[in-house]
Amino acid sequence: MVNNQSRITGGADRHCFDLADVLRARGHAVRFLATAAGEQCEGDGAFVWGRVDHSSRDTAPARVKLAAARGALWNRASEAAMRALLEDFSPDVVHVHKVYPHLSVSPVIQAARAGVPVVQTVHDYEFVSASPLDTTGARWDAHETRFEYRLLNSALFQIKQRLHVPVVSEWIAVSGSVARVYAAAGVDTTVIPNFTPSRAAPPKPFDERSGVLYAGRLTPDKGVLDVISMAERIPSIRVIIAGAGPLRSFVEEAATRLGNVTFLGLLTTEDVAIQLARAAICLMPSHWEEPGPLTCLEAMSVGTPVVCYPVGGLAEYVQGSGGGRVVKADPAALAAACAQITTDEDVWRRLSAAGAVAAQTTYSPGRYLSSLMEIYMRACSESPQRRHRLHRRGLTAVVKSGGDI
């Protein structure tokens, strides 16, 4: 398993660690290649030093930033770590998740050189656009906050297109929405929706629930401004907001000004789960094409209905399961849906039950693993035709040679 992080910083990381647990429970040996961290969720594998992370990149010295940028283009430490894992562990498959900017393309190329099939799960749109948030195929990142970050992401996109994409044996998309975006860019994927671990305790009933919960990044694209607007429209509904991000001061001001808004700050994964189990509704009014957010599935697993806008895999998960409401992208529609669900117990119970059933079936670990094993088996029986395609693209030397690129 190859992933930027050995700790949880987002949904892709949680997915990796949960998947490793599921694979090991079924008797599979799993090792990680990731960056080292003070409090790691994984200790089995190879862990390389990460120069900067998202929280320290703005304040890091120029020489550290330059070294990090070079490592993002080609990381010799992660290349060496992958080589050691291939020799010592001899994996049947290298399953790649998020490797940029910390690990670079180097471990992916190293695996391909060794003839080990590479399976890539796409958690966003980083292989079709310079920005992982962009579905349009733009070669220049227009989303990052600073020019140097936009420049690096745009350069990395060229590397992904030229070196990473061609050596992947099998692609996994976390939703049909993501698969369609990749198909339009000429990348064929297999859809395996994300999963959520099974919950032992039954969902809390309607009369033990209170308020609506938003748990996520405090950014405009995530819709936290719409949550505040909804709270202003319906003072009778308690609104709980958890998270961190550039709009924190705005949320703190709203919590001071509005009597029905409570701001909890950034919570741990465990604390978010506790809040989800207590809430009457999970609000996820994202304006961007959310690929397949785990918070949605975690909410449904504890019987909490989800209210979202009609975008991305998020809407696909909610609509397909019946575990919530997909409403027009407007705070008024958001408010109307919350008002109905929180006051009509029959509606709430129907949505709650549907979500819980979907979490136990469609989005269960067992179903995910069954589909994943098919992908692994297909990758391991790679055809000569694929090797011919690599040769036609001029990548035979990249895959087989031992020299640097």
Residue 392, pLDDT score: 47
Residue 311, pLDDT score: 95
Pairing mode, strands 190-191 and 94-96: unpaired
Residue 390 has pLDDT above 50, yes or no: no
3 occurs within a structural domain:
no
Based on the domain organization, do 323 and 376 belong to the same domain?
Answer: no
Residue 317, pLDDT score: 98
Based on the domain organization, do 328 and 350 belong to the same domain?
Answer: yes
Based on the domain organization, do 60 and 127 belong to the same domain?
Answer: yes
pLDDT band, very low/low/confident/very high, at 335 (cuts 50, 70, 90): very high
Residue 397, pLDDT score: 38
Give the pLDDT mean for 5-25: 92
Residue 389 CA from chain centroid, whole number: 30
- Peptide bond before residue 365 is cis, with ω within 30 degrees of 0: no
Based on the domain organization, do 149 and 211 belong to the same domain?
Answer: no
Q: Which amino acid is at 141?
A: D
For the whole model, what pTM was predicted? Answer: 0.91
Instruction: Name the residue with higher pLDDT: 37 or 209.
Output: 209
Pair of tokens at residue 375: 């992908």
405 occurs within a structural domain:
no
pLDDT tens for 174-212 read: 999 999 999 999 999 999 999 999 877 889 999 999 999
29 occurs within a structural domain:
yes
Residue 232 has pLDDT above 90, yes or no: yes
pLDDT band, very low/low/confident/very high, at 389 (cuts 50, 70, 90): very low
Residue 38, pLDDT score: 75
Based on the domain organization, do 21 and 98 belong to the same domain?
Answer: yes
pLDDT tens for 50-74 read: 877 777 777 888 888 888 899 999 9
CATH of the domain at 331: 3.40.50.2000
Based on the domain organization, do 124 and 94 belong to the same domain?
Answer: yes
Based on the domain organization, do 232 and 355 belong to the same domain?
Answer: yes
200 occurs within a structural domain:
no
Based on the domain organization, do 234 and 263 belong to the same domain?
Answer: yes
pLDDT band, very low/low/confident/very high, at 289 (cuts 50, 70, 90): very high
Instruction: Name the residue with higher pLDDT: 355 or 7.
Output: 355
Give the pLDDT mean for 357-386: 88
Integer angstrom CA distances of residue 329 from 63, 288, 323, 335:
44, 11, 18, 11
Residue 398, pLDDT score: 37
Helices (H), 188-309: 224-233, 248-257, 269-278, 294-301
Residue 394, pLDDT score: 47
Residue 50, pLDDT score: 80
Supply the DSSP symbol for 190: E
Residue 400 has pLDDT above 80, yes or no: no
Pair of tokens at residue 374: 């098919």
d(CA 92, CA 381): 11
Number of domains in the chain: 2
Based on the domain organization, do 102 and 154 belong to the same domain?
Answer: yes
Pair of tokens at residue 254: 């709203």
Residue 336 has pLDDT above 90, yes or no: yes
pLDDT band, very low/low/confident/very high, at 37 (cuts 50, 70, 90): confident
Q: In what order do the strands lie in the sheet with 118-122?
A: 94-96, 118-122, 170-173, 190-191
Pairing mode, strands 32-35 and 45-48: parallel
Residue 129, pLDDT score: 97
Mean pLDDT of the chain: 91
1 occurs within a structural domain:
no
Residue 58, pLDDT score: 77
Percent of the chain with pLDDT over 70: 94
Give the pLDDT mean for 153-157: 97
Residue 145, pLDDT score: 85
Based on the domain organization, do 213 and 187 belong to the same domain?
Answer: no
233 occurs within a structural domain:
yes
d(CA 365, CA 297): 12
Based on the domain organization, do 370 and 356 belong to the same domain?
Answer: no
Burial per residue of 145-178, b for 16 or more beta-carbon CB atoms within 10 angstroms, e otherwise? eeeebbebbbebbebbeebbbbbbbbbbbbbbbb
The 3 state secondary structure assigned to 31-84 is CEEEECCCCCCCCCEEEECCCCCCCCCCCCCHHHHHHHHHHHHCCHHHHHHHHH
d(CA 176, CA 178): 5
213 occurs within a structural domain:
yes
Residue 261, pLDDT score: 97
Based on the domain organization, do 56 and 84 belong to the same domain?
Answer: yes
Its sign, for the CA torsion 131, 133, 138, 142, is negative
d(CA 284, CA 272): 14
Q: Which amino acid is at 130?
A: A
pLDDT tens for 211-224 read: 999 999 999 999 99
Residue 276 has pLDDT above 80, yes or no: yes
Domain hosting residue 64, numbered range: 11-195+366-399
Nearest CA among 356, 292, 294, 291 for reference residue 323: 356
